[in-house]
Amino acid sequence: MSSPTNPGELAKHRGVYTPSAEAYGGTAGFYTYGPVGAQLKQNIETAWQQRFVTQEGHNEIEAPTVMPEPVFEASGHLDDFDDMLVDCPECGNSHRADHIVEDAPDTDIDEAEGLVPGRIEEIIASYRLECPNPNCRASLVDQQVSGFNLMFGTNIGPGSADPGYLRPETAQGIFVEFPRLKEYSRNQLPFGIAQIGRAYRNEISPRNALVRVREFTQAELEHFVDPERDEPDLESVSDVEIPLYGAEAQQAENGTVQTLTVQEAVDTNLVHPWIGYYLGIARDWYDRIGVDMDRFRYRQHLPNELAHYAGDCWDAEAEVDGDWIEISGFASRGCYDLQKHHNHSNKGYTIFREYDDPKTVERPVVDPDMSVLGPRFGDDAQRVRTALEQKLDTSPQAFKRGEFVTVELDGEQHDIRLDVTGYHEQEQTEHGEHIFPHVVEPSFGIDRLVYTVFAHSLCVDRAGRGETREDRTVLSVPAEVAPTSVGVFPLGDEDSLVDRAHEIVETVRAAGLQTEYDDSGAIGRRYYRQDEVGTPFCVTVDRDGLDDDPETVTLRDRDTAGQVRLPRDRLVDELTALCAGTREFGALLEEYHIETDPRSSIPADD
Ligand code: AMP
């Protein structure tokens, strides 16, 4: 099979995806999924949820898509979520400056995202790079490269007193709720919380259809672990072979992708153990939902791409039309996110880790002399005690020098004599300590996955195996994610055939399979229409079958165009097993009567 010439056109005309609001000229970076694309996307999300949530024993939440400014102040998105922008002095278009550097053949730079704006300006100057608009091509030398924050801002309620942002990732919705989520998890690590939902980024230059859009769907999992006590179940994935494009290989002259088992990758310290675990299960999952494993790799972040807090980070990449697209990221984020929210909100983003055996330790404490504080501070004496306890937590050194300790109350400084604070060392039995859990984050972009599965599964069968002698375009997606599972066609317009076909549609739908009825046009055309949108099985009701005893129908397999005649009362069970992947079409050919030549089932006048 070979690739079709124009998948984009097919996507538009067959209900996969299309630029949104085209009737009004559209807006770059927004796409609408048609009936076929929406179902394909939904099925991929369900498969993700099944593998990464249900099978792993994690839980899922649903947080709002708009969140108040302080959340993004704490997460760092307000200050740091920038892409580099350069404006063309001639045509006025804005461009991603790092992409201009990456796309220029002479620079030999594949990853410019981690470079600082000044360095990008230097590269633009030394290679005399131009505006990428084909009708412009003006020089960009001496143009300023600046940061552009990708978040969409809004106001919550009337007026501008309460600024908010559309979330640029689903992850923050999980992190901010950690104090409640740990309660739900009975304060026990490890636990994982997932979320599938929309994210918004005001991309400077949206491109490649679903690849870089301004509104997209993420499926993210935040796995909270105790860095000292929890270990991944590496044994379950140890033999999975993963194609790894490590940072060193990317920087070496002839570096290539190396295929290692998960165990080898972890043992050689190329991959962090938790990341290795997720790379292993994700590789098999990608294969299962239709990503071509010959066009797939894991690429490690280069040192200049790696966030300062991240221990290790790998992207899953898929090749489409010669470009490697990042379809997901796997990051070991340490305790960065929880610590940030803890510090900004003063809420409990830690978890209590119990010691195996209680420990006796000497701890500094304060025990203020209230007979002095009471007369001096009156009703505020208790607040001064609390302020002293907090001071001991944050600046223990203040109690070790000088005669006074200074605390602040309602903006006013008060000096308290050291002997009045009651500062001393006390023996205490401790049963545990508060720690910040570490976060392992697999983050999937669902739209890029839909795009990849569509591109990797679409092919043209030129072997003439189909019902007509023409080439047929086949979306060869696995049955699990196929938008429609079964097509049902009456072979003729007699009432008995049409009625029986409708009855079959009802029973197959009742079994939970997405089913489409089609009685228009030649039967070969109907098969081909279903092939194009990935329907793995079609059922044809014909006169001969109605007359058979027991009654029979013909079942046709999309990929081989093979057909088999089977008793009607076996149909639903066989279809259910075929779609669940517990039965192969070949097994049906052995068990039932085989129609070897698909064209033999087509009447001469059809
Ligand atoms: P990031 O938080 O940038 O690592 O993104 C996580 C995942 O979301 C990526 O691996 C992509 O699959 C997806 N993604 C990020 N930005 C976009 C975008 N503008 N359009 C579509 N998908 C995106």
- Of 556, 551, 423, nearest in space to 497 by CA: 551
Q: Is 326 in the pocket of ligand 1 (CB under 6 A)?
A: yes
- Residue 593's pLDDT is 67
Query: What is the CA(273)–ligand 1 centre distance, in A?
Result: 24
Largest Cα span, the chain: 108
Q: In whole angstroms, what is the distance from residue 242 CA to residue 260 CA?
A: 6
In terms of Cβ atoms closer than 10 Å to its own Cβ (0-12, 13-18, 19+), residue 508 is buried
Helix (H) or strand (E) holding 42: helix 35-48
Strands 59-60 and 191-200: parallel
> What band does 605 get if pLDDT is binned at 50, 70 and 90?
very low
Q: In the predicted model, is pLDDT for residue 2 greater than 90?
A: no
Q: Is 327 in the pocket of ligand 1 (CB under 6 A)?
A: yes
Pocket test for ligand 1, best of 82, 99, 205, 326 (most atoms within 8 A of CB): 326
Q: In the predicted model, is pLDDT for residue 3 greater than 70?
A: no
Query: What is the CA(532)–ligand 1 centre distance, in A?
Result: 28
pLDDT above 90 covers what percent of the chain? 84
In terms of Cβ atoms closer than 10 Å to its own Cβ (0-12, 13-18, 19+), residue 112 is buried
What are the DSSP calls for 468-527, one per residue? SSS-EEEE---TTT-S-SEEEEESS--HHHHHHHHHHHHHHHHTT--EEE--SS-HHHHH
Average pLDDT over residues 146-169: 95
In terms of Cβ atoms closer than 10 Å to its own Cβ (0-12, 13-18, 19+), residue 249 is middle
- Comparing 438 with 463, which gets the higher pLDDT? 438
Helix (H) or strand (E) holding 425: strand 424-435
Cβ–Cβ < 8 Å for 169, 443: yes
Residue 458 pairs in a beta bridge with 475
> What band does 469 get if pLDDT is binned at 50, 70 and 90?
confident
Q: In whole angstroms, what is the distance from residue 406 CA to residue 428 CA?
A: 26
Query: What is the CA(33)–ligand 1 centre distance, in A?
Result: 18
For the CA atoms of 91, 96, 98, 102, the dihedral, rounded to the nearest 10 degrees, stands at -70
Model confidence pLDDT, tens digit, residues 347-382: 899 999 999 999 999 989 999 999 999 999 999 999
Cβ–Cβ < 8 Å for 440, 275: yes
Q: Is 447 in the pocket of ligand 1 (CB under 6 A)?
A: yes
- Of 519, 520, 521, 560, nearest in space to 537 by CA: 560
Query: What is the CA(447)–ligand 1 centre distance, in A?
Result: 9
- Residue 166's pLDDT is 98
- Residue 120's pLDDT is 93
| pTM, entire model | 0.88
**Which of 185-194, 582-591, 594-603 is predicted with the least confidence, judged by mean pLDDT?**
594-603
Q: In whole angstroms, what is the distance from residue 321 CA to residue 312 CA?
A: 29
Query: What is the CA(151)–ligand 1 centre distance, in A?
Result: 13
- Of 113, 193, 197, nearest in space to 150 by CA: 113
Cβ–Cβ < 8 Å for 486, 512: no
Nearest ligand 1 atom to the CA of 327 is: 12
Q: In the predicted model, is pLDDT for residue 144 greater than 80?
A: yes
- Comparing 13 with 51, which gets the higher pLDDT? 51
CA atoms within 13 A on the CB side of 487: 27
Average pLDDT over residues 21-50: 96
> Three-state SS for 597?
coil
Q: What is the number of helices (H) and of strands (E) in the chain? A: 21, 29
- Residue 595's pLDDT is 57
Cβ–Cβ < 8 Å for 472, 531: yes
Average pLDDT over residues 107-129: 89
Question: Scanning the structure block, which residue is given the tokens 């019902």?
Answer: 467
Q: In whole angstroms, what is the distance from residue 39 CA to residue 49 CA?
A: 15
Residues in the chain: 606
> Three-state SS for 224?
strand
Strands 515-517 and 486-490: parallel
Q: In the predicted model, is pLDDT for residue 606 greater than 70?
A: no
Helix (H) or strand (E) holding 147: strand 145-149
Average pLDDT over residues 249-261: 95
> What band does 109 get if pLDDT is binned at 50, 70 and 90?
confident
Model confidence pLDDT, tens digit, residues 188-202: 999 999 999 999 999
- Of 327, 303, 299, nearest in space to 218 by CA: 327
pLDDT above 70 covers what percent of the chain? 96
Q: What residue spans of 67-209 are helical by DSSP H?
A: 69-75, 77-80, 97-103, 117-126, 171-175, 178-184
**Sign of the alpha-carbon torsion through 209, 210, 211, 215:** positive
Average pLDDT over residues 484-492: 97
What are the DSSP calls for 281-339, one per residue? HHHHHHHHHT--GGGEEEEEPPTTTS-TT-SEEEEEEEEETTEEEEEEEEEEEETHHHH
State phi, psi for 203 to the nearest 5 degrees: -55, 140
- Residue 44's pLDDT is 98
Nearest ligand 1 atom to the CA of 449 is: 12
**Sign of the alpha-carbon torsion through 436, 437, 438, 444:** negative
Under DSSP, the state recorded for 2 is: B
- Angle (CA) 446-212-324 rounded to 5° is 80
- Angle (CA) 259-260-263 rounded to 5° is 160
Q: Is 598 in the pocket of ligand 1 (CB under 6 A)?
A: no
State phi, psi for 59 to the nearest 5 degrees: -125, 165
Q: Is 443 in the pocket of ligand 1 (CB under 6 A)?
A: yes
Under DSSP, the state recorded for 536 is: -
Cβ–Cβ < 8 Å for 310, 276: no
- Residue 604's pLDDT is 36
> Three-state SS for 163?
strand
State phi, psi for 423 to the nearest 5 degrees: -65, 125
Contacts of 373 (CB under 8 A, 6+ apart): 381, 384, 385, 416, 420
Q: In whole angstroms, what is the distance from residue 587 CA to residue 85 CA?
A: 58
Cβ–Cβ < 8 Å for 102, 84: no
Q: Is 325 in the pocket of ligand 1 (CB under 6 A)?
A: no
> What band does 1 get if pLDDT is binned at 50, 70 and 90?
low
Contacts of 437 (CB under 8 A, 6+ apart): 189, 190, 224, 225, 226, 227, 335, 338, 350, 351
Query: What is the CA(169)–ligand 1 centre distance, in A?
Result: 8
Mean of all residue pLDDT scores within the chain: 93
Residue 296 pairs in a beta bridge with 318
Rg of the Cα atoms in the chain: 31
